[in-house]
A and B are shown apart, each in its own frame.
Chain A
Amino acid sequence: GNSVTQMEGPVTLSEEAFLTINCTYTATGYPSLFWYVQYPGEGLQLLLKATKADDKGSNKGFEATYRKETTSFHLEKGSVQVSDSAVYFCALKGSTLGRLYFGRGTQLTVWP
């Protein structure tokens, strides 16, 4: 079946530090992979996506590469800002039109 395992939080960093949030997945077929972000008091917003092996999704300085050999989709950012403080969710969508499978979410707090 489909599932997503995400790095446990919370993650606390100083501004300008390097960020990695690990995400691995189990899937049948060829899933698409997503990172969603939830800012305090808001809904889930799509951050980036990748639809096939070796694709790199990127947005707002965040990047993630779809690694089929390691079944991973780790989120990275070279220099975090206070405004990046949020909960980050890794998710996959299977090869049929259907639901997203979410990881547990990782709370990121960035201090000035």
Chain B
Amino acid sequence: EPEVTQTPSHQVTQMGQEVILRCVPISNHLYFYWYRQILGQKVEFLVSFYNNEISEKSEIFDDQFSVERPDGSNFTLKIRSTKLEDSAMYFCASTYPAESSYNSPLHFGNGTRLTVT
């Protein structure tokens, strides 16, 4: 079964550095998402992306964050200047807009654990 893949599985960075988290969504999917999960806490929505633009973003997704689909397969999340509180597991997800689009479940990758020191 096709799956969403994320790299790297673990990224350690120093505060203030830029990081790029990479995702390869399922190939025929058209909607892409980033979520994060701070250790032991809720899974939080960051951003959704469709047709090469952001369709929705949360209050967490401030100017330090950006997303891009640089080619036909990758979907990236960039954090420009990381803070300690950005340490979390970041999940990429994708879905395909079926006829009843709101029924479509999101398919998640295994996540990238980001540690900011």
Residues of A within 8 A of B (CB): 31-32, 34, 36, 42-46, 49, 51, 89, 93-105
Residues of B within 8 A of A (CB): 4, 6, 31, 33, 41-45, 48, 55-56, 91, 93, 97, 100-111
A97 touching B101 in the complex, CB below 8 Å, given contacts A43-B91, A44-B91: yes
A105 touches B43 (CB 8 A): yes
- B102's partner among A36, A43, A94, A104 (CB-CB below 8 A) is A94
Bound CA span A49–B102, Å: 12
11 A-B pairs whose Cβ atoms sit less than 8 Å apart in the complex = A32-B103, A42-B110, A46-B105, A46-B107, A51-B100, A93-B104, A93-B105, A94-B102, A98-B55, A98-B56, A102-B42
Q: Which residues of B contact A51 (CB under 8 A)?
A: 100, 102-103
Q: Which residues of B contact A31 (CB under 8 A)?
A: 102
Residue pairs across A and B with CB atoms within 8 Å: the count is 59
A99 touching B48 in the complex, CB below 8 Å, given contacts A32-B103, A51-B103, A89-B43: yes
Q: Which residues of B contact A36 (CB under 8 A)?
A: 108
A34 touches B111 (CB 8 A): no
Would you give the shortest CB distance from B64 to chain A, in whole angstroms? 20
Q: Which residues of B contact A32 (CB under 8 A)?
A: 102-103
Bound CA span A101–B35, Å: 11
Task: Give 20 new A-B contacts, CB below 8 A, not counting A43-B91, A96-B102, A102-B42.
Answer: A32-B102, A36-B108, A43-B108, A43-B109, A43-B111, A44-B108, A45-B108, A51-B100, A51-B102, A93-B102, A93-B103, A93-B104, A95-B102, A97-B101, A97-B102, A98-B56, A99-B33, A100-B106, A102-B44, A105-B42
Q: Which residues of A contact B102 (CB under 8 A)?
A: 31-32, 51, 93-98
- A44's partner among B43, B44, B48, B103 (CB-CB below 8 A) is B43
Bound CA span A34–B104, Å: 10
Cβ-closest chain A residue relative to B31: A97
Cβ-closest chain B residue relative to A107: B40
Would you give the shortest CB distance from A44 to chain B, in whole angstroms? 4
Cβ-closest chain A residue relative to B108: A44
